[in-house]
Amino acid sequence: MQAALILETGKIFIGEGFGAGGEVWGEVVFNTGMTGYQEVLTDPSYVGQIVCMTYPLIGNYGINSLDNQSQKIQVQGFIVKEAARNPNHWQMEKNLSRALAQAGVVGIKGIDTRALTRLIREHGVLRGAITTDVLQDLSALANRLQDWEPPQDVVAKVSTEEVYTLDPIGDAGIHSSAGTTGTTGIVGTDGTAQPLHVVVMDFGIKDNILRAMREKGFCLTVVPYNTPAETILSLEPDGIFLSNGPGDPKVVQVAVETIKTLLNERPVFGICLGHQLLTLALGGDTYKLKFGHRGGNQPVQDLRSQKVTITSQNHGYAVEAESLADVPLRVTHRNLNDRTVEGVEHTELPVFSVQYHPEAGPGPSDSLYLFDQFAARMQQRRAQHAS
């Protein structure tokens, strides 16, 4: 089955279709990960996007039910140079093509993904379409793409619709001696360690983030992105977590207003979209990157310790450094590739955020310490209110 990738520039790539048939439109972006394609496919931050994998061989260990980052495949379309025909792994349940077909996601393989990546780097993120109807007028389709606008309300599509709770996994971090605090818990009046309670504002959260916090011993209450501040505070959390998610942060104005209220009430930790929303709530600004950061190999330096970590990232927007001059935020992390802002902290409040993914799925696990820093801020607040 032939397939075509059409770009708004008029460039057309002819390849072979795999997965589902049909036609999809979206923003064409690239991811530089050598592994982790299943995590990419199921990451809610990719809603509305057609993802090109720069590594040439994708699918060689198949698909399983353990590595999903959400309940379904989220990408609009998928582009690879070569899709493994006979994947092999002891956890494999299906191959890549079958997984895409079952999810109704159109894929194209056999095109020059290197040339496509160079085009995106030259022009920036491009509107594009994948179609298995190669007999239609593809040039006319390219012209129509120029006037097409991607949907803006993408956070609403991926956020939870109902509140739900998650307990800590095992006894991670909540054991402590009488009268002392543990890694992520504190001793209650009955002498037992009480886990820290975190309300998670869900803008499109990945399962690995929830798992990482539960493994730290946090008790989580996950709420929809548009939950009012009063409702969140009524849950009596020790801290607020602002999750990752798709799209332009300025579109999610309802969350920005909620965060403004929460900042003075509890410790707050944000990542990715949550980092951008926190910055907007404090008066900073954001902008769209030319082609974004997507992959597991982004070097980031902590400006306080000078330590460099390799991070997993997936975002198309960033915090404008110049906009922080008159707001109560200091830059804590920088991307060593392009010097973009990768982390901020409040000058007075226990509030901080990073642009990258410390839970690392896919990617390195160098940054899990950030969850410990969040726990320390919550422990300090709880101890102050207990005294």
Structural domains in the chain?
Answer: 2-150 (3.50.30.20), 155-386 (3.40.50.880)
Distance set, CA 149 to CA 144, 145, 320 (Å): 10, 8, 24
Task: Extract the residue ranges of the chain whose pLDDT is less than 70.
Answer: 170-193
Q: Where are the alpha helices (DSSP H) in the chain?
A: 37-41, 96-103, 113-123, 138-146, 154-158, 207-215, 229-234, 253-262, 273-281, 369-386
* pLDDT at res. 9: 96
Cα torsion 148, 355, 73, 240 to 10°: value is -110
Residue type at position 265: E
Q: Under DSSP, is residue 221 helix (H, G, I), strand (E, B) or coil?
A: strand
* pLDDT at res. 184: 53
Burial string for 364-376 (b: 16+ CB within 10 Å, else e) reads bebbeebbeebbe
* pLDDT at res. 194: 84
* Residues with a known catalytic role: 272, 357, 359
* pLDDT at res. 362: 72
* pLDDT at res. 385: 84
Q: Under DSSP, is residue 357 helix (H, G, I), strand (E, B) or coil?
A: strand
Q: How far is the first Cα of the chain from the last one, in angstroms, to the nearest whole number? A: 70
* pLDDT at res. 356: 95
* pLDDT at res. 55: 97
Is the Cβ–Cβ distance between 46 and 75 less than 8 Å? yes
* pLDDT at res. 46: 97
Q: Give the phi and the psi of residue 310 in degrees, each rounded to 5.
A: -95, 125
* pLDDT at res. 134: 94
Is the Cβ–Cβ distance between 130 and 136 less than 8 Å? no
Is the Cβ–Cβ distance between 374 and 238 less than 8 Å? no
Cα separation, 220 vs 303, in Å, equals 30
- Give which of 297, 298, 286, 294 is closest to 335, Cα–Cα: 298
Residue type at position 381: R
